[in-house]
Structure 1
């Protein structure tokens, strides 16, 4: 499936007269004077007709803002512990439909500003989040279309670079304040075994996740990722893929939910967090980490270590030079990676996806990627993923005497087949299929080879598989 805004599920515009907007607020106010369910039914009927009426972008936006105010009024009863009625769940769905229709009108018109687009994506996602929450409150499975469109809204925010655009939204229970945070709030709620929560705990958990959800990160999935983290397929109508099931969608639509920074933050002091919220978060957090058993058991291991940061510095170190090194403290280790703590003033150089060389007090230096990071009062916490194999410096040129570019060759023994090689390059240096002259430190001659497609990439570096004779 190809992701596209046109795949959003919205009701068709019906032929006939458009709904009168001049007295919409008056009609909504009159509806409030009736008994709650009758009032809710009348407000829902008005919104239903609005969503199926042709109107300008500005008219639709004003109408939806009025209906959002009504939503706040009818949601107040759910905050008292009263289970939501089926009419209220349908109101959430219709509001999501309205904002998705508004979003399509934005894309069909002039290029919207990023804050305006982020607001519309956020509002559509918010009412999907409310629909999800209310279904869980009633111990009902959410409709598949809810997840399909939620993934698509996240993808659209990602494509238009507004995942982290702040949005002010006064709703209860409180949502996260960015499109990224709100979507991940939904994912974490769905992963928290919601049908096993007691009555009233689902809204409590949703609110407790609001200030924390942005700390999680959806990362692109690469072919040799051995993580146990939940895998999200943005083309599927479910929150995450089952662990026994292989992903059917294209790899570009697969994401791994990384919760390392979130788990660190849960242990930090949070004066505004109630003891009930804290206990609830502690109870559900094991469900966020994928399989019940880790692939690599983690062991507490406090020791000093050093880091060489970035491809150029790693190349220099491997070539026998003395680039700057960063001192850090190792907190725990596993065969797949490690958790480190260093001073926070190094955060500018250690982005997620940065290539580093880890040097412990014993053993050979280990090539690794920064998988997650989190800053608190202790300093900068880093989660590293080991890249197994021998790291060597290489030099690359477009012609035997052309400008030299630096690379790092990662070589791993392959039983019965010699070695598997991966060439790490800084992003943007070469294009796929380009012929390159490669030279190893131990070789006098250069080898010419076409650059294959990458099999692992981050925002900083890219790895290309090589077949060397």
Structure 2
């Protein structure tokens, strides 16, 4: 991973003259008595000066809170092009201010998670507002805006700040977590904003607030054939184009999984206005990307069963008839299937769970999204193509066996690709193990290589077997 907080786009603090917070407050109050455009320019000039001045963390935080209050005062939509351009600049400078404050927090001693979450959220909010106002004015966003938006999300991921709720009384309404706010911007950018009518970008942003967190960003690898935009957190663009699709995965690649969000769009939502419903209905087909990237889906109404987790899959492959969960296949495609299961299965089917789909044929799969509603548990299953075999693993030839699943796919022309599925963190990378296959008399010794696909419950390790 090459991302670092120091890559945030923040101008150097070159001004050394100190800013008195009392005088700053008086200047901001006086600006409110001027003509709106004149007062807004005064606020903007003061913020530019603050952002390029050396200040203590507490001084900068108090100053930015004052400027955030001024933003609420001046941010109402205006038909004046000059005021619209000034508001865009104000959003950009507020983003710069919170990014500089974030760097000061990270350079301090053990910042508290609520404080760090709040600062990341505020920086992301004003980056999102700057992007939104670019869309409203049909302007191409500066590349640094998307680079910073991705980086702020990544920092939240690294510091476990994505799901801490933040109370922020802004308009249009932002999502209340860093995860949701980041995906609000992504979904807006994926909604083909140049084709929206005046004012619709703002209404769409607000309509996405309660929905955006349902979309999930999942690690991506070259075998992942699922639908959904592909995002590189290092790139200065919302998502990769079809031509940019890489041949192999790396740490900064994420796939935006939209399954749960698309199910939720069809659910009753009393607080969603008719205009918002129509707007979401009109734009949501853009979220999956260009038609050339989408896989055809075939509707199904097929009963199935699921063996859940390595233990149950192992027993099913040995025809030991373990307890399985009943389900229904709703549609299928080359990359996977959408299922409906009973609600009570939710506790055993988290995202990232390994399952064996038992229908006309048995297919190994990974849960990539889920959504629980009155109908039951909706699941998105990613197919893991290949032959699944039960295996036993030992740390010594005669020690207690541990269960694993071997996934094998034929190589072109000769040989096999093997992937060994084991419970996450059960074995360490590089650990020496003994592997035994069904009907095999001897055991194979191996050194467990680093995993190439992992979730919260399982990990897959590539193997070379004789």
Tell me the TM-score normalised to structure 1 length: 0.96
What residue is the counterpart of 2:214 in the other structure?
A: 215
Alpha-carbon shift at residue 195 of structure 1 (Å): 0.9
- Give the secondary-structure state (helix, strand or coil) at the position aligned to 2:163: coil
What residue is the counterpart of 2:422 in the other structure?
A: 425
Whether 1:448 and 2:445 are equivalent positions in the alignment is yes
Whether 1:39 and 2:28 are equivalent positions in the alignment is no
What residue is the counterpart of 1:409 in the other structure?
A: 406
Q: For 1:372-392, what per-residue CA distance to the aligned partner results, in whole angstroms no more than 9, with x for missing partners?
A: 001112111001011112211
Alpha-carbon shift at residue 288 of structure 1 (Å): 0.7
Alpha-carbon shift at residue 293 of structure 1 (Å): 4.2
Alpha-carbon shift at residue 9 of structure 1 (Å): 1.4
In 2, distance between residues paired with 1:330 and 1:250? 29
What residue is the counterpart of 2:299 in the other structure?
A: 300
Q: For 1:139-193, what per-residue CA distance to the aligned partner results, in whole angstroms no more than 9, with x for missing partners?
A: 0001011111111100000000010110011111101110000000000011111
1:235 and 1:249 in contact (8 A); partners too: no
- Give the secondary-structure state (helix, strand or coil) at the position aligned to 1:357: strand
Q: For 1:384-417, what per-residue CA distance to the aligned partner results, in whole angstroms no more than 9, with x for missing partners?
A: 0111122110001122012211100112233421
- Give the secondary-structure state (helix, strand or coil) at the position aligned to 2:64: helix
Alignment CA distance shift 1:179-1:393 (3 Å): same
2:357 and 2:364 in contact (8 A); partners too: yes
2:423 and 2:459 in contact (8 A); partners too: yes
In 1, distance between residues paired with 2:77 and 2:325? 55
In 2, distance between residues paired with 1:304 and 1:12? 62
In 2, distance between residues paired with 1:113 and 1:348? 31
Alpha-carbon shift at residue 10 of structure 1 (Å): 1.2
1:308 and 1:356 in contact (8 A); partners too: yes
In 1, distance between residues paired with 2:379 and 2:245? 29
Whether 1:120 and 2:119 are equivalent positions in the alignment is yes
2:214 and 2:260 in contact (8 A); partners too: yes
1:223 and 1:456 in contact (8 A); partners too: no
What residue is the counterpart of 2:325 in the other structure?
A: 326
Whether 1:354 and 2:349 are equivalent positions in the alignment is no
1:84 and 1:134 in contact (8 A); partners too: no
Consecutive unaligned residues of structure 1, counting only runs of 5 or more, are none
In 2, distance between residues paired with 1:18 and 1:142? 33
What residue is the counterpart of 2:394 in the other structure?
A: 397
In 1, distance between residues paired with 2:145 and 2:329? 42
How is 1:8-407 mapped onto 2 (pairs within 5 angstroms)? 8-78=8-78, 85-247=84-246, 251-293=250-292, 295-360=294-359, 363-407=360-404
Q: CA RMSD in A?
A: 1.8
Alpha-carbon shift at residue 420 of structure 1 (Å): 2.1
Q: For 1:111-131, what per-residue CA distance to the aligned partner results, in whole angstroms no more than 9, with x for missing partners?
A: 121111111000000000000
1:340 and 1:383 in contact (8 A); partners too: yes
- Give the secondary-structure state (helix, strand or coil) at the position aligned to 1:346: helix
2:147 and 2:235 in contact (8 A); partners too: yes
In 1, distance between residues paired with 2:115 and 2:302? 49
Alpha-carbon shift at residue 250 of structure 1 (Å): 7.2
In 2, distance between residues paired with 1:84 and 1:196? 23
In 1, distance between residues paired with 2:120 and 2:53? 21
After TM superposition, the runs of 4+ consecutive aligned structure 1 residues lying more than 6 A away are 80-83
Alignment CA distance shift 1:461-1:83 (3 Å): farther
- Give the secondary-structure state (helix, strand or coil) at the position aligned to 2:263: helix
Whether 1:464 and 2:447 are equivalent positions in the alignment is no
2:429 and 2:450 in contact (8 A); partners too: yes
Select between 448-457 and 160-169 the one with higher mean Cα deviation: 448-457
Q: For 1:423-443, what per-residue CA distance to the aligned partner results, in whole angstroms no more than 9, with x for missing partners?
A: 111111222232221101111
Alpha-carbon shift at residue 15 of structure 1 (Å): 3.6
Alpha-carbon shift at residue 319 of structure 1 (Å): 2.2
Select between 87-96 and 396-405 the one with higher mean Cα deviation: 396-405
Alpha-carbon shift at residue 302 of structure 1 (Å): 1.0
1:218 and 1:258 in contact (8 A); partners too: yes
1:81 and 1:200 in contact (8 A); partners too: no
- Give the secondary-structure state (helix, strand or coil) at the position aligned to 1:244: helix
- Give the secondary-structure state (helix, strand or coil) at the position aligned to 1:464: strand
Tell me the TM-score normalised to structure 2 length: 0.96
